Amino acid sequence: RFQSPIRGMIEDGSAVAGDTCANCGKQGSSTEMQVCSNSHVSCANCLMSCPVCKALICLKCSLVACATCKQTVCAKCSYRCGACGQTACARHAGPCSVCQQGRCLDCLVDCAKCGQRACVEHVKKVRFQDGREAYACTACVQQAVAARK
């Protein structure tokens, strides 16, 4: 009787023999199959490397496409914008300098005073002494108001 080596686990925790791809069902020897970072046994056609963290991921893993660059990344390297709900990769998202909430780049504005990124809820349009208008984060606006007093 033939027994395949155990090479991975599926989502329900049960063991998977190492000769069948959990994604497409392709049969292969245990040396042809690999285990992704989430313990799914996969063939070479169903595997990829996350472009951000370089983890080995398969088609069965939770994969997310960045709304900005359309690149597919693993769930650990994706962020859902708290303002608009879009999903972004780590290169196209970041925290607001005021509230520290994660936002996509479309929902962050560079403060004209300090250069930090702030979410649209924490920026105000201001007029500088030279007459130009720009956006400043609420922290810089508060500092300017306090300095005038």
- Longest CA–CA separation in the chain, Å: 87
Write down the residue that tokens 């991921």 correspond to.
57
- pLDDT reading at 14 higher than 80: no
Rounded to an integer, the average pLDDT of 43-48 is: 91
Q: Of 15-19, 84-88, 134-138, which gets the smallest average pLDDT?
A: 15-19
| pLDDT reported for residue 97 | 95
Alpha helices (runs of H) in the chain, residue ranges in sequence order: 138-148
86 in Cβ contact with 104 (< 8 Å): yes
| pLDDT higher than 60, residue 1 | no
Q: What is the pLDDT of residue 115?
A: 95
- Amino acid type, 24: C
